[in-house]
Amino acid sequence: MSDPILLHIGCGAAPDLESGAARVVLVEPDPEHGIGLRALVDAHVQVIAAAVAAESGQAPFHRCNFAALSGLQVPEALSRLMPGLTQVATRQVTTLSPQDLIERAGLQGSGHMLRCDAPGAVVDLLAGLAAALIRFDSVWLTVGAAPFYGPGSDAQSVIDLMQGQGFRLIGRKDQDDPDWPELRFRRDAVLERLQRQLEDANVAREAAEAQVRVQLEDAASAREAAKALEAELERLRALPGQLEEAIAAREAAEAQAEQLQARVGTLGAELAEQAIELGKLREQTETQESELARLRLLPGQLEAQAEEREARETEIRAAGANLARALRLQALATADLKDLQERHAELQTVKDSQDALLGQLALQLGDVSDHLRWLDSAPDNPRLKRDTGQGRDKVGKGET
């Protein structure tokens, strides 16, 4: 047994420091009591600023005008009985589950004491402790005479629960406030032993019932097995007839197998022929695929040929235009040539005329030259000179 520790939950401003415990753990979530409680901390006193709840975390703490009724939940049933009960403040506080609180308080072994002066936390506390209640020998619980905090929160429900856990009620203090009695329990070894024996008896009863159920199931299985054996016996009795039928069926099957074998040979030949046909079909397919590939290329080739034809037609049209232009130029050149030929003929006629005139003029000039030479040969004949002078004047005037 460890040195006894008192775990005082909801101690408020009146912590129990006279219990004779070696160490006291005070649990109080209300911040207004925090300063006074922290002043008590020493080697034997530990203060935990948290509320007991089903789970650890954060939760709103409702402070009422009656401080003893403050907690994580407002007693709605009590509010109807006490119209003056009001909520004066709400703030978030830390919550610890009963198991986390046991670890935080450092409770080990057994022989410890538990006191809870927070009626709203009793249900969660006892439900969360469960098997951990074995660590406590003495328990003080302040609860409601009625279920102010919901089902199971009234004094009688708590008494029944504690007795079921092996605790005996040794005191009930309700003289100061009958609505909030203080219940004191002590672990009863005999009651606990009887409780364990009852639990063991229940376990044994359940095991016996389970065994009976198994035996009944085995008996049912045996009956089913007997029925199966009877069915098997009937089947064996029918085996001779079934054997004859099986022999006949086997002979029929053998005959059918021979027929099938012959059919297999026939099918083999047919398959060979079909394989040859298949080869031919594959060749035809390949040829058709090649032709199809060529046909697929035809649109592109036709487009190329159409483009080439259009280009050639364009070239032909350009060549036709050039030819027409050349023909027009040739016609113009022919006309120019003809005109030149006509002008050349005209110029040739003029030239011929001029040549004739020049020939006549040369003859005349030759006559004149001969005459002049003749005159020069007779210088003493005045008359000739006069005539010659007159002749020259006539020649100079263009007379003949």
SS in 3 state form for the chain? Answer: CCCCEEEEECCCCCCCCCCCCCEEEEECCCHHHHHHHHCCCCCCEEEECCEECCCCEEEEEEEECCHHHCECCCCHHHHHHCCCCCEEEEEEEEEECHHHHHHHHCCCCCCEEEEECCHHHHHHHHHHHHHHHHHEEEEEEECECCCCCCCCCEHHHHHHHHHHCCEEEEEEECCCCCCCCEEEEEECHHHHHHHHHHHHHHHHHHHHHHHHHHHHHHHHHHHHHHHHHHHHHHHHHCHHHHHHHHHHHHHHHHHHHHHHHHHHHHHHHHHHHHHHHHHHHHHHHHHHHHHHHHHHHHHHHHHHHHHHHHHHHHHHHHHHHHHHHHHHHHHHHHHHHHHHHHHHHHHHHHHHHHHHHHHHHHHHHHHHHHHHHHHHCCCCCHHHHHHHHHHHHHHHCCCC
1 pLDDT above the threshold of 70: no
Residue written as token pair 């390949």? 286
Taking the whole predicted model, whether its pTM rises above 0.85 is answered as no
Which residues neighbour 102 within 8 Å (Cβ) at sequence distance 6 or greater? 129, 132, 135
Indicate the average pLDDT of the chain: 84
**pLDDT > 70: percent of the chain:** 91
Residue 65: the pLDDT is 84
| Most confident range, picked from 65-69, 162-166, 296-300 | 162-166
393 pLDDT above the threshold of 70: no
CA distances from 324 to 315, 320, 333, 366, 368 (A): 14, 6, 14, 61, 64
**Cβ atoms of residues 6 and 115 within 8 Å:** yes
Both tokens of 270, joined, read 């047919």
Both tokens of 328, joined, read 């027009």
**Cβ atoms of residues 27 and 10 within 8 Å:** yes
Residue 160: the pLDDT is 93
**pLDDT > 90: percent of the chain:** 23
Among 171, 177, 174, 175, smallest CA distance to 159 is for 171
25 pLDDT above the threshold of 90: yes
Residue extents of the structural domains in the chain: 5-187, 357-396
* Residue 238: strand pairing partners: none
Residue 400: the pLDDT is 44
In angstroms, how far is the first alpha carbon of the chain from the final one? 191
Residues in the chain: 400
Which residues neighbour 275 within 8 Å (Cβ) at sequence distance 6 or greater? none
Which residues neighbour 65 within 8 Å (Cβ) at sequence distance 6 or greater? 84, 85, 86, 88
Domain spanning 5-187, CATH architecture: 3-Layer(aba) Sandwich (3.40)
Both tokens of 147, joined, read 């279920």
What's the order of all strands across the beta sheet hosting 45-48?
45-48, 23-27, 5-9, 112-116, 136-142, 182-187, 167-173
194 band by pLDDT with thresholds 50, 70 and 90? low
